[in-house]
Amino acid sequence: MTKKIKEVQLISISDLLDIEKYKENGAYFCERFGIMMNLGDVPENEWMNPYQPYRSKEWRIARITSGVSKYIINLQEHVLQKNTIHILPPGTLVMKVSQSDDLSAEFLSIYDLDELNSRIPQGHTLYYTADEETGLRFHEYYKLILRMTQDSRTPFTSIRLTAFALAEDMISQQEEIQGKNKDKIKLNRHQLLNDQFMELLNQQGTLKHEIRFYSDLLFVTPNYLSNVVKEISGQTVSWWINYMVVMEAKMLLLHSNLQIGEIADRLGFSNLPFFSRFFKRETGMTAVAFQKQFS
């Protein structure tokens, strides 16, 4: 008997949707490229279920064209509304919270966009609400790429390059906005420390559950870190660490073939009962019950 490989499943849009159904509405789907579609064509109940975190498989580039939706992306709340631009690299921790009935978006998912790695590394996202002009520009790129995908002669490299140009354009438009507001905002030291903590938590939070680990890396006392994070984010450091662990635990319960004992191990718990008690306390249900509820 061969050993079954233990793995975490990264989720692509085609895992979440019955793509075939939407091809008729102009959605474009191809193994190498990914998918391009208007999310407005997809009824809410067929789209990603709320409160089920997963890690994404592909690059996602989107502009909201109507409606509102709320997501937790790498632990942070993202409110998406008209002209919100979203670029998420592969491996992003995504959880839908809610979406309005009239949600629609121009949406592109694309497997390989390595050129963007240095601009938006894993753990980061591009997330801002653009002005009308920039929104229109996204729309023009979107139409152009759609046109390209619908011509069967177009090689994948051409589509990829234009998608890259779109992403770069959206990034530099945001930098432009940021630059303009730099004087106004003047990120204070508390804000900065909070942001650095959140970045570390996203990178290391699944295994490192001690405040001191983070405060040491940030050259402050645990007390000071706790006070600042509480002041800026409204929640304590411990709350954030638990939040991260629960999110990752749920993701692994839903999207891996790991045993619960292995999940506990991956999350840095020294034994299964510790993990079980932790999960029950934080979510109100057992890990097994959670897993069953969504399968």
Summarize as ranges the residues that interact with a second copy (CB under 8 A): 133-134, 136-137, 140-141, 143-144, 147-148, 151, 153-155, 157-158, 161-162, 164-165, 168-169, 172-173, 176
Kindly report the number of other CB atoms within 10 A of residue 5's CB atom: 6
Are 200 and 218 spatial neighbours (Cβ–Cβ below 8 Å)?
yes
> What minimum distance in Å lies between the beta carbon of 170 and a second copy?
9
Cα–Cα distance for residue pair 61/74, rounded to 1 Å:
16
Judged by CB, which is closer to a second copy: 49, or 117? 117
Q: What is the rounded end-to-end Cα distance, in angstroms, of the chain?
A: 27
Q: Is 16 exposed, middle or buried (0-12, 13-18, 19+ CB in 10 A)?
A: middle
Judged by CB, which is closer to a second copy: 21, or 147? 147
Judged by CB, which is closer to a second copy: 59, or 278? 59
Judged by CB, which is closer to a second copy: 70, or 119? 119
> What minimum distance in Å lies between the beta carbon of 202 and a second copy?
28
Phi then psi for residue 57, to 5 deg, are -95, -35
> What minimum distance in Å lies between the beta carbon of 26 and a second copy?
16
Judged by CB, which is closer to a second copy: 98, or 158? 158
> What minimum distance in Å lies between the beta carbon of 232 and a second copy?
30
DSSP state of 5: P
Are 64 and 100 spatial neighbours (Cβ–Cβ below 8 Å)?
no
> What minimum distance in Å lies between the beta carbon of 169 and a second copy?
5
The two tokens of residue 235 are 């929640």
